[in-house]
Amino acid sequence: MNELNILALSGSLRAQSHNTALLHAARTLIPGGLAIDIDDDLGRLPLYNQDLDGGTPPVVVAEFRARIAAADALLIATPEHNASIPAALKNAIDWASTAPEGLLRGKPVAIAGASPGPFGSVRAQLVLRQVLAAVGAEVVVKPEVTVFHCDTRFTGDRKLSDPCTADLLRELLDALARKIHPYTAAK
Ligand SMILES: Cc1cc2nc3c(=O)[nH]c(=O)nc-3n(C[C@H](O)[C@H](O)[C@H](O)COP(=O)(O)O)c2cc1C
């Protein structure tokens, strides 16, 4: 059987991002038969503008949409910005959501998030769940992966060092894998 492909989106644009590091950790914890491709540069997308969203969208947008279309599932790691998701992540979801082929409808999505504060991006993840529900994505409900005090859970070179977070992430990926199989069978 061919490997199934997960596109992992980081909501952080920071070079030293813990959320991007979480996605790299997921790569090492993923069940067999799945592969993770990481997009940690959502800032390259222009701000959503309906005037640009005609028959020929900007090339970067077309490429981003093609990556989403090719993915069997998404994994999103988001920081919390003012109790919500970062603008770059919302912008990327907006661009994906208006593709004529309805790219996010029925797409399996797992979410996680890291923040240095005590809540681990829980409010951002609630907002993200609401946005993903609006676009018809199939979001994994549990486990909720809220990596609070994230600066204590990675080594200096951004390797995940906390076994509890690794276990949760593994559980999340297993749950995502269970959602992917019915989705790809129906494609
Ligand atoms: C504009 C702004 C707003 C923020 N608001 C919150 C917040 O509401 N809750 C929170 O836990 N952290 C907040 N933070 C801290 C971020 O979670 C943190 O800086 C960082 O983005 C964590 O993710 P990263 O390491 O992946 O970049 C905020 C940071 C910025 C720059």
Which pLDDT value is given to residue 101? 85
68-87 confidence digits (pLDDT tens): 999 999 999 999 999 999 99
Ligand 1 pocket check for 82: Cβ under 6 Å: yes
For ligand 1, the distance from its centroid to the CA atom of residue 181, given in whole angstroms, is: 34
31-45 confidence digits (pLDDT tens): 888 999 999 999 999
103-129 confidence digits (pLDDT tens): 999 999 999 999 999 999 999 999 999
Ligand 1 pocket check for 120: Cβ under 6 Å: no
Residue of 10, 80, 158 to test ligand 1 pocket, by largest number of atoms within 8 Å of CB: 80
Q: Does the pLDDT value for residue 1 go beyond 60? A: no
For ligand 1, the distance from its centroid to the CA atom of residue 81, given in whole angstroms, is: 5
Which pLDDT value is given to residue 63? 98
Residue 18, domain extent: 4-186
Q: If you average pLDDT over residues 49-67, what whole number do you get?
A: 95
- Taking CA atoms only, the protein residue closest to ligand 1 atom 28 is 81
Label residue 21 by pLDDT band (50, 70, 90): very high
Which pLDDT value is given to residue 55? 86
Q: Does the pLDDT value for residue 144 go beyond 60? A: yes
- Taking CA atoms only, the protein residue closest to ligand 1 atom 21 is 79
- CA 117 from centre of chain: 20
Label residue 187 by pLDDT band (50, 70, 90): low
Label residue 185 by pLDDT band (50, 70, 90): low
Average pLDDT over all residues of the chain = 95
Residue 117: CB partners within 8 Å, gap ≥ 6? 80, 148, 149
Instruction: Specify the number of domains making up the chain.
Output: 1
Residue 103: CB partners within 8 Å, gap ≥ 6? 65, 68, 69, 96, 97
What is the DSSP track for 116-183?
SSTTTTHHHHHHHHHHHHHTT-EE--S--EEETTGGGSB-TT--B--HHHHHHHHHHHHHHHHHHHHH
CA distance 173 to 170: 5
For ligand 1, the distance from its centroid to the CA atom of residue 53, given in whole angstroms, is: 30
Nearest atom in ligand 1 to the alpha carbon of residue 19 is 26
For ligand 1, the distance from its centroid to the CA atom of residue 115, given in whole angstroms, is: 6
Ligand 1 pocket check for 12: Cβ under 6 Å: yes
Which pLDDT value is given to residue 31? 87
